[in-house]
A and B are shown apart, each in its own frame.
Chain A
Amino acid sequence: MSVQDTDIPAARPVDWRDPRILARIRRRHARDGWLKAAGLVALLIAFALLAILVGSLVYRGHSAFTQTMVTLQVHVDPKKVKPERLRRGKYDDMVEAALLSHFPEVRSRADRRKLTKILSKGARLALRDRVTADPALIGQTVTISVPVSDPFDQLNKGLIGRSTPEERRIVDDRAIAWFDRLAEKGLISRPFNTALFLEADSRFPELAGLAGAIRGSAYALLVCFLISFPVGIAAAIYLEEFAPRNRFVDIVEVNINNLAAVPSVVFGLLALAVFLGWFGLPRSAPLVGGMTLALMTLPTIIIATRAAVKAVPPSIREAALGIGASETQVVFSHVLPLAMPGILTGTIIGLAQALGETAPLLLIGMNAFITEPPGGVLDPATALPTQIYIWADSPERGFVSRTAAAICVLLLFLVTMNALAVILRRRFERRW
């Protein structure tokens, strides 16, 4: 400002062409390059690992999305099923007779029994359901596709090698010959495995499905959302907008952050002791599962909500207060709507975490063997991750591919939820 002021020393001249300065610039640029390269490499590694994970899952699991079926002409014998007792007919006899009719040369009792092993235990159920739905079929011949048992399913999918020595194979050469004969006649087909999505768990891999687990997970997540969303938002709003600054509130805040880091198995033990032990709620119920998951999701939602509420510019609060809005009006007509994208993102990420959570559900018994999809939140059920756990633990060959398929389904749900989070956020941001 003051030009005449002689106290200020003159600026020292800098030679920008000095080789040392130029070298320094080059080094700085080189460092930029290294940083970018390192980031790119890290990203590539992450992508490669993800590709390996998904690739191996799809490779192992894809065969479970189809199921080998055999098409039979079954005569519904009026002697074996009575219209008044439709569900108790001797359907296995009828289905087996239909299969045996293709092999008139097989006579001995032992051979016939061995031959009928081609059929799944679920074959009679398929016929039973068909006849129960339409009793007029009694006395007629119906064409029906029934699943084959797991070893033959594996054989058909090429997962049991024909070149393996016979003694190390679960199906011997004769059984393979029988199966091939059926295939030659064009009776073997491999349609999409609808049972995987329509049926619940089963001891037989060819009959086991995810319907029970999907519905159990849906119920548990619904309960989890209904509890953790309102409670989480209420807690966060109170802490952020209304809570006095004192030691008690500080302790609460620190502990909420700690809760987010507590291992999930601890929440499972807590739920076991409190919900099952004290409250006497039913074991394996999605209600209890959802409540347990809500305990885990709450800190996530509270932390996300607080961050979103904090990010609402104070000028908006001042504007509303300046016109005479009450604190409640400020929160509900300004702060919450502006914070909603952040809150929803946090909530969906929390729910996605809950969907994949296994340990607490194991402790409250959601890893039970349950063959019926739950009809409500109090019925025993499994969840997707616990179903994966059960199947991964099963010895039958068929469960290997089904485990991978179940993981694919779970990942699909997770991707869908995260995409939903992005869509919701975009939508709300456009509105505001």
Chain B
Amino acid sequence: MTMLQPDEAETETEAPTAELKMTARDVDVFYGTNHAIKSISVDIPDKTVTAFIGPSGCGKTTFLRCLNRMNDTIRNCRVTGEIRLDGEDIYGRDIDPVQLRARVGMVFQKPNPFPKSIYDNVAYGPRIHGLAGTRAELDEIVERALTRAALWQEVRDRLDAPGTGLSGGQQQRLCIARAIATAPEVLLMDEPCSALDLIATAQIEELIDELRESYSVVIVTHSMQQAARVSQKTAFFHLGVLVEYGETSRMFTNPSDQRTQDYITGRFG
């Protein structure tokens, strides 16, 4: 119900500095006895791209998956602390993770289209959430999502073709279309370009920049250049701890922490 665009537009005009979309306070994550994430607090602003960077195994993805409760599906994973979406505790009792995941969409590291037609891939989310009343409405949602994901021109003639038959970059854009078809408020992207070539990466990055106008985007990336190119805010993770968080431009030119500086200049990681 908080998907209504006018509300957001209103708050936007009231507060020209980016409104906070999600806030995390003292989040800890345990896999069994392994303490993977240690007391992380982050503010994720609306209509902004926030990048999570850091060496492998530092907990970026784990933390990202807390934001739409995907970690619920992992056995013996325990999350403590508080994460709020529009001020609402997403681990609260009256939040249904199924609905939350429609509001906080996710794009995965490896393109994972369903082995169904391109149309059905995009229509799946709207269908299960009952977002379209008629077939025409659904057609429109699909077309709009594919257009926004910059894929419509390439697939408009073969919507019935299997989504798995597309190229890697097209598949990833299809996954983005699928994620934005449910009109999410936040889009989580877990290294969306790691399996793609330079051209496909450039296309996705351009797309992320456009998506920023309507969504809050959180992207996990290994590539510092990518973080510098697409994001406005950057968070640097190291060994399960949030080392530094701030404006991207400042992080890359004038990091305040020695570890951030070492990582950015390529001394470890």
Contact = CB atoms under 8 A, between A and B. Distances in A.
Q: Do A and B come from one complex?
A: yes
Contacts of B98: 324-326
Contact of A323 (B75, B102, B110, B115): B102
A296 B179 CA distance: 45
Contacts of A323: 101-102, 105, 124-125, 128, 178-179, 182
Contacts of B112: 313, 315-316, 318-319
B58 interface: no
Nearest to A317: B73
A326 B105 CA distance: 14
Contacts of B24: none
A301 B124 CA distance: 30
B114 A319 contact: yes
A255 interface: no
Interface in A112-140: none
A333 B120 CA distance: 11
B95 interface: no
A318 B75 contact: no
A315 to B, nearest CB: 4
A188 interface: no
Given A315-B108, A318-B70, A319-B175, A324 B114 contact: no
Nearest to B124: A323
Contact of B108 (A319, A325, A333, A432): A319
Contacts of A325: 98, 124, 128
Interface of A: 245, 313, 315-326, 329, 333-334, 338, 432
Query: 3 closest Cβ contacts across the A-B interface?
Result: A324-B102, A315-B112, A324-B101
B33 interface: no
Given A323-B128, A324-B101, 6 more contacts: A245-B75, A319-B178, A322-B68, A322-B179, A324-B100, A326-B98
26 contacts: A245-B75, A313-B112, A315-B108, A316-B115, A318-B70, A318-B108, A319-B114, A319-B175, A321-B70, A321-B73, A321-B101, A322-B70, A322-B106, A322-B108, A322-B179, A323-B101, A323-B105, A323-B124, A323-B128, A323-B179, A324-B100, A324-B102, A324-B128, A326-B128, A329-B128, A432-B115
Contacts of A321: 70, 73, 101
Contacts of B73: 317-318, 321
Does more than half of chain B's interface fall in helix, strand or loop, or is it mixed?
A: helix
B99 interface: yes
A317 B98 CA distance: 13
A320 B182 CA distance: 12
What is the interface residue range for chain B against chain A? 20 to 34
A245 B200 CA distance: 41
Contacts of B105: 322-323
Contacts of A313: 112
Nearest to A329: B128
A316 B112 CA distance: 6
Of B98, B99, B108, B175, most buried by chain A (CB within 10 Å of CB) is B98
A317 B125 CA distance: 14
Contacts of B75: 245
Contacts of A245: 75
Interface in B102-149: 102, 105-106, 108, 110, 112-115, 124-125, 128-129
A75 B114 CA distance: 75
A426 B101 CA distance: 35
A40 B112 CA distance: 41
Contacts of B110: 315
A338 B115 contact: yes
A323 B120 CA distance: 13
Contacts of A326: 98, 128
A322 B101 contact: yes
Contacts of B101: 321-324
B129 to A, nearest CB: 6
A175 B187 CA distance: 95
B251 to A, nearest CB: 27
A228 B70 CA distance: 34
Nearest to B103: A324
A338 B164 CA distance: 14
B67 to A, nearest CB: 12
B148 to A, nearest CB: 16
A334 B128 contact: no
A319 B125 CA distance: 10
A324 B129 contact: yes
Contacts of A432: 115
A112 B128 CA distance: 84
A245 B76 CA distance: 10
Contacts of A320: 114, 124
Contacts of B106: 322
B118 to A, nearest CB: 14
A313 B115 CA distance: 11
Nearest to A338: B115
Of A245, A313, A323, most buried by chain B (CB within 10 Å of CB) is A323
Contacts of B129: 324
A316 B101 CA distance: 15
Interface in B199-247: none
A318 B182 CA distance: 16
